[in-house]
């Protein structure tokens, strides 16, 4: 099964309206039913995997056109695009070679992207096709929100508030939105923390090494 066959198969499915960018086995199996009967199960499995990846990528690309990234923390942007694309945490975590809890922590900001090994950051950047300047601004937004959340949590604990580990996803999102609203600072007015500067420099080198200059410029 060469790339041309796979591309033709996908294009045919899109023209007939069989692919609506919703990734599920029914859609993929429908496409695979058009493969010659003599194709081996192993060959079909490879094509099925590739088809799913292509549909996921198309869904991510389409979703990015309607999701605003300016002023949004890195993890929350990833979450918004993923949900808009109709993709589960499991699907994205699997593409990154991680488990769902890792992606959940990344989306919630419990993991600082700037502190991750650069190869892990690159995987996310390539999967979501993020430009370097956008990554830089989102990391700055992440840094500001994390600092504000840390302050609010400390205040909540001192007044007998809920612990961080008992907060629901909705509460975490509301806290993110609140901190972004009150910070009152433009991205350009906030100096780059050293950690973010280092991360962006390493990211640029790694992207160029991989031939992804389209994400650098």
Same domain, residue pair 203 and 145: yes
Evaluate whether residue 178 is within a structural domain.
yes
Q: Which one of 13, 36, 64 terminates a domain? A: 64
Same domain, residue pair 59 and 150: no
Is the Cα dihedral 143, 101, 207, 85 positive or negative? negative
- Quick one: which of 152, 67, 138, 58 has its CA closest to 106? 138
Same domain, residue pair 140 and 48: no
Asked if 112 and 148 count as a contact pair (C-beta separation under 8 A), the reply is: no
Evaluate whether residue 88 is within a structural domain.
yes
- Quick one: which of 67, 68, 71, 69 has its CA closest to 186? 71
Q: Which one of 64, 82, 112 terminates a domain? A: 64
Mean confidence (pLDDT) of the chain: 77
Same domain, residue pair 51 and 94: no
Same domain, residue pair 84 and 149: yes
Cα torsion for 57, 55, 22, 138, to the nearest 10°? 0
H helix or E strand, kind and range, residue 193: none
Q: Which one of 64, 94, 109 terminates a domain? A: 64
Same domain, residue pair 57 and 88: no
- Quick one: which of 28, 32, 30, 22 has its CA closest to 56? 22
DSSP 1-65: --HHHHHHHHHHHHHTT---S---HHHHHHHHTTS-TTS-HHHHHHHHHHHHHHHHHHHHHHHHT
Structural domain boundaries, residue 205: 74-215
Instruction: Examine the pLDDT at 189 and tell me if it is beyond 80.
Output: no
Q: What is the pLDDT of residues 5-47, one digit of tens each?
A: 555 655 565 555 555 545 455 655 665 565 555 556 676 677 6
| 8-state DSSP, 80 | H
Q: What is the pLDDT of residues 50-95, one digit of tens each?
A: 778 888 888 899 899 999 999 899 999 999 999 999 999 999 999 9
- The number of distinct structural domains making up the chain is 2
Same domain, residue pair 82 and 143: yes
Same domain, residue pair 55 and 139: no
Evaluate whether residue 181 is within a structural domain.
yes
User: In sequence order, which ranges of 97-216 are alpha helices (DSSP H)?
Assistant: 100-108, 118-127, 132-158, 169-183, 194-209
pLDDT of residue 95: 95
**Range with the poorest average pLDDT among 89-98, 101-110, 179-188, 206-215:** 179-188
Evaluate whether residue 69 is within a structural domain.
no
Asked if 96 and 127 count as a contact pair (C-beta separation under 8 A), the reply is: yes
The number of residues making up the chain comes to 217
DSSP helix/strand/coil, 155? helix
Same domain, residue pair 54 and 110: no
Same domain, residue pair 133 and 171: yes
């Amino acid at each position: 099964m060469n790339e041309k066959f796979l591309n033709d198969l996908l294009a045919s499915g899109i023209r007939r309206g069989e692919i609506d960018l919703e990734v599920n086995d029914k859609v993929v199996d429908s496409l695979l039913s058009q493969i010659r009967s003599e194709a081996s199960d192993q060959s079909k499995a490879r094509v099925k995997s590739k088809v799913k990846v292509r549909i996921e990528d198309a869904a991510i690309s389409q979703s990015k056109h309607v999701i605003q990234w300016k002023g949004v923390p890195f993890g929350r942007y990833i979450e918004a695009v993923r949900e808009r694309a109709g993709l589960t945490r499991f699907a994205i975590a699997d593409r990154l070679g991680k488990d769902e809890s890792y992606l959940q922590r990344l989306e919630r900001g419990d993991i600082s992207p700037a502190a991750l090994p650069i190869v892990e950051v690159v995987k996310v950047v390539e999967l979501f096709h993020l430009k370097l300047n956008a990554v830089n601004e989102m990391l700055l937004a992440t840094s500001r929100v994390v600092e504000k959340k840390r302050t609010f949590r400390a205040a909540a604990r001192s007044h007998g508030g809920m612990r961080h580990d008992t907060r629901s996803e909705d509460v975490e999102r509301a806290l993110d939105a609140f901190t972004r609203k009150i910070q009152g600072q433009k991205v350009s007015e906030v100096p780059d923390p050293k950690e973010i500067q280092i991360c962006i420099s390493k990211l640029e080198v790694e992207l160029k090494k991989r031939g992804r200059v389209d994400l650098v410029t």
